[in-house]
């Protein structure tokens, strides 16, 4: 992997130390240029004509690239406005098929926005959510999950969904997604994987994972634009799932009083789209594929392991990450100095990061009761100088 060329593709990296890929990674020039080109074309010939002119790229090539990224079929991909909408479209469509008393199973580290949806369907439909026990490393205890499902079924309960955040945003843990998939398939329970932090960082393979649905964004480790994301719906699920909202793109009008659903996952899409953002997503997928997802994961691991170790060696700094395998999300806090103060100091020195509070994983927050944390999320483009500067300034910040 040519790190110098990768950094040259992103001129801002010469000016700042960027450690917020888990928030919104900076796009390299090929991705930025793809979006600007499409906007220029829209300004030059109009939106409809631009779409028609680049229809093959926007309607065929894009879906092929997204599908290749996760080892899916193009027909199993829908492109939507963001990861939350992708997740909601799947979740609330499934909820239409549930009955009062049905059960969702989720992890301690589930994302806060998803928890709101769990509470919402309880209010609307009487759906219950049960937390899967953790193992000693903070991950989903897969043996406990298997037993939990058996016990629920023996008691006449109906678990209808396993919803898991693959790489939680509030610490560096990686959930055992493939093993969870085996358990979900064994018990014939629908499996929804929130892959917001894994796409673009980790070589995700939906067939190996065994998830029925996957949702994600473009803007994080994939380095695409803000304002779009995508979902995967397996071919098997597409035989039965009907979206909770439809327009005449997701379904074709059959006369004045009937409609027919699209056969593919694009039934989850609406007619209106931001095609410049789609061009950016396409370029982001191709950029990642050209680098190679296994190489990206290997490089990201080298960077994050080294940085996490260096932070842990600073007196009175505590790493808050769980898990046996860790992602490029590094969370930490100081014994006495607030994370807000430290972040402000680092930002003044052009080190870009964010904070991780309990709102992003409320169940974990209640369980561990940690102070607000610094969140560093390096990526394959960070180099030795970035890490050295961060550690140097961090030591000054906590004095």
Q: In this predicted model, what pLDDT tens digit does every residue of 263-308 receive, in sequence order?
A: 999 999 999 999 999 999 999 999 999 999 999 999 999 999 999 9
The residue segments making up the domain with residue 336 are: 3-27+292-397
CATH number at residue 309: 3.90.1150.10
The percent helix, strand, coil of the chain (3-state, each to 5) is 50, 15, 35
DSSP 61: I
Give the pLDDT confidence score for residue 346 in this predicted structure.
Answer: 99
Distance CA 323, CA 110 (A): 14
Q: What is the pLDDT of residues 159-177, one digit of tens each?
A: 999 999 999 999 999 999 9
Q: Residue 359's pLDDT is what?
A: 86
Between CA 394 and CA 399 the distance in angstroms is 9
Encoding tokens for residue 127? 């759906």
Residues 43 and 191 in one domain: yes
Neighbours of 50 (CB within 10 A): 22
Q: What is the pLDDT of residues 340-386, one digit of tens each?
A: 999 999 999 999 999 998 888 889 989 999 999 999 999 999 999 99
DSSP E strands: which ranges in the chain? 17-18, 77-80, 103-106, 128-131, 159-165, 190-194, 213-217, 229-233, 251-253, 259-261, 317-319, 330-334, 351-352, 354-356, 373-376
Percent of the chain with pLDDT over 70: 100
Query: 75 with 10, same domain?
Result: no
115 and 152 belong to one structural domain: yes
User: Are 285 and 305 part of one and the same domain?
Assistant: no
Count of domains observed in the chain: 2
Together in a domain, 133 and 279: yes
Measure the CA–CA gap between 388 and 394, rounded to whole angstroms: 10
Q: Which runs of E-coded beta strand occur in 14-147?
A: 17-18, 77-80, 103-106, 128-131
| pLDDT tens-digit series, residues 86-127 | 999 999 999 999 999 999 999 999 999 999 999 999 999 999
Percentage, residues of the chain above pLDDT 90: 98
Does residue 47 share a domain with residue 17? no
Summary mean pLDDT of the chain = 97
Q: Is the pLDDT of residue 181 over 90?
A: yes
Query: If 0-12 CB within 10 Å is exposed, 13-18 middle and 19+ buried, where does residue 14 land?
Result: exposed
Q: Are residues 151 and 253 in the same domain?
A: yes
pLDDT tens-place string over residues 221-264: 999 999 999 999 999 999 999 999 999 999 999 999 999 999 99
- Interatomic CA distance for residues 367 and 277, integer angstroms: 39
Same domain, residue pair 278 and 368: no
């Amino acid at each position: 992997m040519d790190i110098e060329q990768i950094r040259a593709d992103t001129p801002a990296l010469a000016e700042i130390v960027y450690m917020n890929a888990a928030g919104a990674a900076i796009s390299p020039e090929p991705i930025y240029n793809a979006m600007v080109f499409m906007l220029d074309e829209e300004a030059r010939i109009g939106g409809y004509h631009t779409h028609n002119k680049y229809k093959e790229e926007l309607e065929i090539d894009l879906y092929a690239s997204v599908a290749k990224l996760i080892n899916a079929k193009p027909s199993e991909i829908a492109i939507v406005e963001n990861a939350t909408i992708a997740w909601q479209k799947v979740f609330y469509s499934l909820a239409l098929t549930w009955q009062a008393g049905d059960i969702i199973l989720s992890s301690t580290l589930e994302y806060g926005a998803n928890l709101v949806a769990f509470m919402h369907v309880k209010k609307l439909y009487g759906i219950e959510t049960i937390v899967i026990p953790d193992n000693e490393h903070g991950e989903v205890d897969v043996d406990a999950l298997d037993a939990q499902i058996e016990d629920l079924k023996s008691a006449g309960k109906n678990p209808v969904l396993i919803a898991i955040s693959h790489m939680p945003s509030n610490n560096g843990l990686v959930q055992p997604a493939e093993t969870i998939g085996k358990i979900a398939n064994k018990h014939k329970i629908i499996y929804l994987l929130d892959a917001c932090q894994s796409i673009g960082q980790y070589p995700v393979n939906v067939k190996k994972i065994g998830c029925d649905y996957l949702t994600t964004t473009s803007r994080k480790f994939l380095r695409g634009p803000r304002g779009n994301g995508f979902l995967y719906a397996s071919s098997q699920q597409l035989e039965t799932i009907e979206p909770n909202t439809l327009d005449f793109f997701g379904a074709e009008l059959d006369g004045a009083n009937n409609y027919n659903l699209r056969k593919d996952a694009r039934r989850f899409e609406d007619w209106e789209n931001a095609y410049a953002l789609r061009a950016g997503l396409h370029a982001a997928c191709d950029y990642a594929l050209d680098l190679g997802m296994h190489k990206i994961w290997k490089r990201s691991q080298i960077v994050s392991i080294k940085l996490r170790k260096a932070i842990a060696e600073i007196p009175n700094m505590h790493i808050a990450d769980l898990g046996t395998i860790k992602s490029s999300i590094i969370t930490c806090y100081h014994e006495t100095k607030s994370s807000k103060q430290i972040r402000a100091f680092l930002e003044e020195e052009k080190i870009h990061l964010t904070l991780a509070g309990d709102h992003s994983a409320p169940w974990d927050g209640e369980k561990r009761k940690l102070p607000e944390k610094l969140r560093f999320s390096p990526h394959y483009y960070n180099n030795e100088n970035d890490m050295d500067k961060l550690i140097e300034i961090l030591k000054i910040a906590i004095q």
